[in-house]
Each structure stands twice: as C-alpha cells, then as structure tokens.
Structure 1
Amino acid sequence: MTMKHSDFLVVGAGLIGSAVACGLLRRNHSVTLLDEGGEALRASLGNFGLVWVQGKGQGARHYAEWCHEASEVFPEYARQLQDETGVELAYRKPGGLTLCHGEAEYQKRTQVLERLKNESRHGAYDCSMLSRQEVQKMLPTLTLGPGVTGGSYSPHDGYLNPLALLKALHTSITLGGGAFCSGTAAINIRYENGRFLISTQKGEFSAEKIVLAAGHGITRLAAMVGMQVEVHPQQGQLMVTERTRPVLSMPISGIQQTAEGSFIVGLSNREVGFNTDTDTRLLKQMAQRVVNAFPALASLRIVRSWSSLRVLSADGLPIYQQSEICPGAYAITSHSGVTLAPLHQTHIADWIVDGVQPDEFENFSTRRFDVEKIA
C-alpha cells in the first residue's frame, strides 16, 4: 500500500480539528484529515451550539478575551462559511441570558461578573445584571415563573446549529482540496528524519507537521510525540422537546429554541468517567428547572434524551501546545469548539504555520500546570 504524504496531518475531524484544517488549507498547504468515525466519543454530539462569552474566564483574563474576540468576528466568519459551502448555519447574535432562580443565585451571579470586571484590562465587563422585570421585558412571549429573580445579559452571545457548523467545515475542507479520511483511527505515531508517520488500520500516512485534535484520544497520541496533555471526560445530558411555535427569541444558558421550534435543554455536569448512560432522576430535575423558569412549557413532550462527554483540561481552559521533543507536532483541545472556531481557523493556523502567537498565548500551554504543581 502506498503511503500518502501531505504537508499537514490533522488527527480528529470534530469542530476543532476541522476548523484548523480549513485554516491550513487556506494557506495553500496540503492537508489530510484523519477521523476515527462512528466509534469516536464525540463532544460535538452534545454541543449546545452557543457562541458564548458571558461568565467565561474567571481567573483567566486571557481566556475571557479570547472568547470575546471570537464572538466579535463570528458574524462575518459565519457569513463567509455559509457563502462558500451553501450550508445554512442558523447563526444569530441577539445576545444571551443566564437566569437566576432565587436571591442566592442572583447574588452569586453578580459576584461572578464583578470578578470578571475587576480582572479585565480596563476595569469593564460588558455583561449586565438585570432585574426580574427587565428580563421579562426581553422575553415578552414567555411569562417567567415566580421563582426567577432576574439574570445576566450579554450582547456578545449568540447561537447556531453545531452539526451544521461541522458539516460546513467538512464541506469547506473538501472544496479546498483537503483529503478527508473517515473511519481512519490513528493507532501509532512515529517521528523519523524530520517527518511524522501515522499508522492506521487503512495504512500509513506521513507529513511534515501533525495537529492532534482527537478529543478524548489526545492524551494517548500526544504522549507518542513527547507531550503530556491530560484531559478528562465530563458528562452532559440533553433533552429535546416536540416542536412548537417560536416563543424564545434569544439563547439562555441551558435552554434554547431551535429554528425548527424544538426546545433543547442542557443543564447538567457529571463526573462519571466514560459512562454515557442517561440518569432519569437528573433529566426530571432539568425539566423541572425549565418549567420553573417558564411554566407555559410544562405541556411540551420530551421526544429524545441523550448524553455526551465533554473534553476538559484540569482547569477547564483550552490547551495549545507544541512538542519540544518532536518539532512540528501540535496538540489542541478546548471545550469551546463552537465559540472559538474562527480563531482556530485563523490564529491557531498562523501559529502552526508561521509560529505567530497572539498576546498572552503562552498562558494556554501545558506549562501552566507545571507552575501549579510547584506552587
């Protein structure tokens, strides 16, 4: 079997790997994208589709700014990707809300925003706490439940169809001349004579550089090229209702209405290893919180529920790491695959190709964990 060679091999065709592959192709490099296929534990299956800024980056100003930059360029990014591929992303940016149930939640949310304001470069954070009455004015077609005390609003938040985004990225890769190899899991990586050789069940692939964006498989693969990239799974459960008339005009953290009219609910975080079983008790709690927020939705039938596994680093922030032992090997992982897609396609591709690093980029490397261990 002939070995296929390209300038870049990207391992993992989820939102992160696909966005990076698109960026490399636009710089006129040959790219082969390897994907495990149906057996992969895809974080994309549980992605809520939020392009979200508010609340992110406590104690990590660089991450807060990274998300804000992505949100600012997302409208043009989505428009260009739609025009190129013909895939409708259903992207909207009406701003987003986080609801508070009870006074304790309201005070806690206020403290989060105050901390983000104090940590910012300019002592400002564009997210406002709203009273119950102010939230109700923003949602005129849904009456709030009596326990909702208010919430926070950011004009920078939006949402889209995450599966449409993934389809658009794959389409862009094909249109750009990239090689997309599905059902091709990376088994072993070798670094020989300045090149990377990846063994798969479909043969060997070689490249000058490799990008590892393999989700839960990144720890094993990164170790083969001298990088310690530790991630762990966090289970999130989701449910979807039957379709109804449009009544929710903006995304709410954990609750949104799709363009087709269904409500998607995702309000859980569980540390259960690689278990993807749903928990009926937890699903009932999620449904009850939605009804507490919007009693009018109590009559909607739940038509499907499932769980997925988020890929998280120890501190929940992205990791962007280059191997010191095997130059040309990169590892990328993040829980914000949708929000950060435009930056993965631009800034991360620039870093991989030319070594250009954005401001405070070093804070995303795995060396931050070494500092924590010493401390």
Structure 2
Amino acid sequence: MTANPVDADLAGELSASVQRLCAAFPAEYWRNADASHRFPVEFREAVAAGGFLGVAMPEQYGGSGLGIREAALILKAIAASGAGASGTSAVHMNIFGLHPIVVAGTEDQKSRFLPPIISGEHHACFAVTEPNSGLDAGRLETRAERRGDRYVITGRKIWISTAQIATHMLIVARTGGAGLSGLTLFYSPLDRNKVEIREIDKMGRAAVDSNMLFIEGLEVPVENRIGEEGDGFKILLHGLNPERILAAAGCVGIGLAALERASAYARERVVFGRQIGSNQGVSHPLAEAWAKLEAADALVARAAALYDSGRPCGPQANAAKYLAAEASFEACEAAVLTLGGMGYAKEYDVERLFRESMIGRIAPVSRQMIFNFISEKVLDLPRSY
C-alpha cells in the first residue's frame, strides 16, 4: 500500500515532532540511565505530555485514532535518536500494550482503563511468559481460580518489562484445562503485597527493567476479566502482528543510530594521513548496513499498512521483525568495528546500542519460530514442532 500525500505529510510531521522531543534527551541521558539502571521517567513523562502515547488508541478515550504505521514511526524515531531499546521499551506498553482491551474489552473497561494509560497516569506491564513454557503458551501454569465475584491468581512470570515501575498488569492465567483454550486474560492493579518482583540482571537495556514475578493470591474482580473465560490466547493474537511490527521499527531505529555515530567517527578519525571513512574496508560495511536497514524499514511500512487496512499481515510482520533485527545487529556490529577500540568504550554509545540490538533477535519471538511460521503458513511445508 502506498501512502497518499496527506499520509506522507503526517508521517513527516510526526517524525519531526518526535525528533524535537528526543533532542532534549541527549546521549548522556541514556548513557547515565543505562549505567545507573534508572528508568527514564522524565522521558516517559515528556512523551506523555506530547500526546504520543495515545497515537494508536481510539479518539473517544483520549487517543489520536491513528494506526500502527504512525506508532511505528514514533518508535523508530525514538530509537534512532540514540535512546535505543531503552527509549522504545519505556513507552511501548502505553502506546500499544492495551490493544487487547481495545479489541475485546467492554465499554466500561475501555472507559476505565484506556484514558489513564494514554495520559501516562498509569503504566502497565504485560505478564505472559513463564519460566517453564517459553514460547509454548499452551503450557502456561499460572492459575486464576474464581471465588465469587473475583479471581485469585497464583503463579510465576518471567521477563516482565517495566514491572518495577508499573501500576497495572495485563496478565494471562489458566482458568480451565490444559492447552490454549484454558487461558484467560485479566487487567489488574499491580498489588505489591501479592506480587513479589525480582529484577533480572541482564546484558543490555539496563535503563528499563526485566523481572521475575512471584504471584501469590492476587485478587482480580470479575469485571476486570477481558473477554470470556478461555478466550485469553485468542484475544492476544490480535496484538501479535502489531507487536512484531513495532519491535521491527525500533530495531531499524537502533541500527540507524549506530550508523550515524559510526559515520561521524569515520569522517573525523584520521589514520595514516587520511580519514578512515575513505577506506572501503570501513565504508562498505556501513553502506551495506544502511541498505539492509532501508529494506527492512520498507517491509515494516508494508506490514503496518496491511494491518491498518484490515488485511492479513502475518508473514510480512514476522519477516519485518526478522529482517529488522538482523539488519540492526549487523549495523551495530559494523559501528563497533568502525570505532575499533573506542567502539568498546561507553562514551561513544555504540557498545550500548550493540548490546541492545541483541534483544530484537530474541524477543518477542525468535528467528527460528519466525522461520517455522513462514515455512508452514507461506510455503505450505509440514510443521516441524
């Protein structure tokens, strides 16, 4: 789908607005947040004040009523500013995380839950993954037992981003028997008297936390159940393709940020009497990385346009996520190698971007599972798992 002139103008204005906002948060801000493992509170507040959190949310609840294409532009611009995965992860759940409620929530639920997320008053985390199941959602073990007018949830979740600062939690728990049909979706305040949160010490994106949750007796009112019992996984499916598209957009932005820094260094660094950027051994890997990022970005835009028009986009969304993650990693690797020893130094930021580029190759879905999907759904090959 080709954007019309109005769409192109809007895209340009949106990207420029985000770039102006991000200019107030230079590399030092993100470097310090990463070093101190400090959540970028000021940045998130600025994004909320700018009205960007509701870009893809319905207008009647305070959003802008735009699409995934516009949300992708915002996340790409944030990452490309040098904020990287820390910047995108700080706002991703507010921008799109409650889409399952938009799709399956009642009017009462939308009116209660969406406005404070859009304004930034609330911050939600998304609790799906568990230690014993990984991507095999049919084996989730966390249980929700109904007791009168409420459910009582007990279990464990892992790799839950932003739980340290979250006020609410979108959580999947088992209300029925084995398999995907036994899962139900809930939205609940994050009661720290019932949920123990342990931060995971990890390689990258240190400014935004990842956590293990130990849930014991969390009470959730029936009116906070999203959809019917057993519909949890089906509801989540509505968010999988947009999630891949937005993750891909962030990956492209990380790669572009790394290339910008590497190119600047290659123009300034003089060795053997000339700029190192004049050497093809330096310039060609950067040029190749740019070309691959452009290709990935084009597929991100195509997948987003398909989704926004209501057409199937699963293969394109998965392929965009794969290509963007790989292109981002290669761009960051080329940037580190361009700077040589200084690429290993924190003050030049490319080592931080390189660490964060690994996230896209792992989450929210691995390369291997993307290949499984494309093999089965596009190429009509036998399922391998």
TM-score range, shorter chain: under 0.3
Relative contact order: is structure 1 or structure 2 higher (C-alpha 8 Å, sep ≥ 6)? 1
Larger relative strand fraction? 1
